[in-house]
Structure 1
Amino acid sequence: MEALARPLLIRGFGRPSGPLGRLGGRLMALGNAATERHAVALAAPAERDVVLVVGPGPGVGLEAAAERSAHVIGVDPSDVMLAMARRRCAAQIRRGRVRLAPGTAACTGAPDASADVVISVNTLQLWPDVPAALRELHRVLRPGGRMVLSAHEKWLPLALPALADTVRAAGFGAVRAWTWEPPTRMAPTAALLSAVRP
């Protein structure tokens, strides 16, 4: 059963593709919306900040970030998710506030020290190599840049204190980790982590 379930979860949520990926995207848009908006509010991007959204999925957080910043970049490995985000953020894309590209947490394609803010919601549990992804996000942030990560607490690959230690080991400072209850019955407890590149 587990051998069958994993490929279905990957096609629906991990690297969404086909009809199952589109269904997964709709479920993400509903279930993750409050956490996506909360993560953007915590990161508090300003109009001039360059915001990198890693794994924007159907684009709810991307859209929220573009309400605050004129320079939002979303990277996602899924063509289905990029298409859904493109539709949701069509007006912001036309205005030049949002740009989308293929990419992952470990390979964003962004230049060194090019982002002021990095945000990622419910992708951490899918990163094959968490330390490598954190090193990449550290690389793309400018000194003083901030990162906000969130994932369903029950899906974390590490306990929250161990994850915070891994973030520190990647070179981040001012690391904070806590849990938050989204104001919707569809979403379980969220683990949140914020950090700053010194």
Structure 2
Amino acid sequence: MTGLSERLLDMGFGHPRGPLGRLGGRLMARGNAATEQRLVDFAALTPDESVLIIGPGPGIGVRAAATRARHTVAVDPSETMLSACRKRCADLIADGKVALIQGDAANTTQPDDSADVILSVNNVMLWPDWHAGFTELRRVLRPGGRILLSAHDKWLPGGLPALKAAVTHAGFIDTQTWTWEPPTRGATTAAQLRAHLPATG
């Protein structure tokens, strides 16, 4: 891949911005929808839980989570994606069910022990520092809380074994991993993970 191609891909999907970022967001809304919904379903959210979503893209998963949980916070470094989220979730934001924050996995700006569940779809492979990201997510997740991740298997550095090792090293337990084939035409195999924090300590 040439340098120009890499920059264009980054502008559309890696760090969405400008017209390419808006186009990338529309493609994500279609291509990621089934995976977003699956992860929300698998999380089994309850009406008394608070959810933190890392890298929400155009907000498909935010909307799905917010219809089940008490409160949903979505953190994304891309203003282009946050703008798409605002449009898609305007009613939920107005009702106080959703909050959007500019940040990333290593800098969520959220209080300690503030999330019951953390979700992320097709974002973890973009984090520059997994240790920093999972350390931050451990800080904001309450004891006993759970984290669920999904990523493109073919673009996940080191695959599921490396992701599981990073999560375990950060102090999460009961880690389970698997792959899933999204029903969306042209979608790639999803590498997925679920883990918990210890209830105490």
Range of TM-score over shorter length: over 0.9
Computed over aligned residues only, the root mean square deviation of the Cα atoms, in angstroms, reads 0.9
After superposition, give the CA deviation of every residue in 1:138-168 in whole Å (9 maximum; x if it has no partner).
1110000000000011110122122111110
Unaligned runs of 5+ in 1: none
Q: Distance in 1 between matches of 2:95 and 2:70?
A: 9
| Aligned length, in residue pairs | 198
Question: Does residue 73 in structure 1 map to residue 108 in structure 2?
Answer: no
Cα distance in 2 for partners of 1:16, 1:162 equals: 26
Q: C-alpha deviations, 1:57-93, integer Å up to 9, x for none?
A: 1000000001101200001000000000010011111
Aligned equivalent of 1:170: 170
| Cα contact 1:70–1:98 (8 A) shared by 2 | no
Identity of aligned residues (%): 58
- Give the SS at the match of 2:87: helix
Unaligned runs of 5+ in 2: none
Offset at residue 26 of structure 1 (A): 0.3
Q: Residues of 2 paired with 1:135 and 1:195: CA distance?
A: 14
Where does residue 132 of structure 2 map in the other structure?
Answer: 132
* Normalised TM-score (structure 2): 0.96
Deviations 1:98-149 (A, max 9, x none): 1101010111111111100000000011100011111111111000000000
8 A Cα contact 1:107 1:136, kept in partner: yes
Q: Structure 1 segments of 4 or more deviating over 2 A?
A: none
- In structure 1, the partner of 2:179 is 179
2: CA distance, partners of 1:45 / 1:108: 21
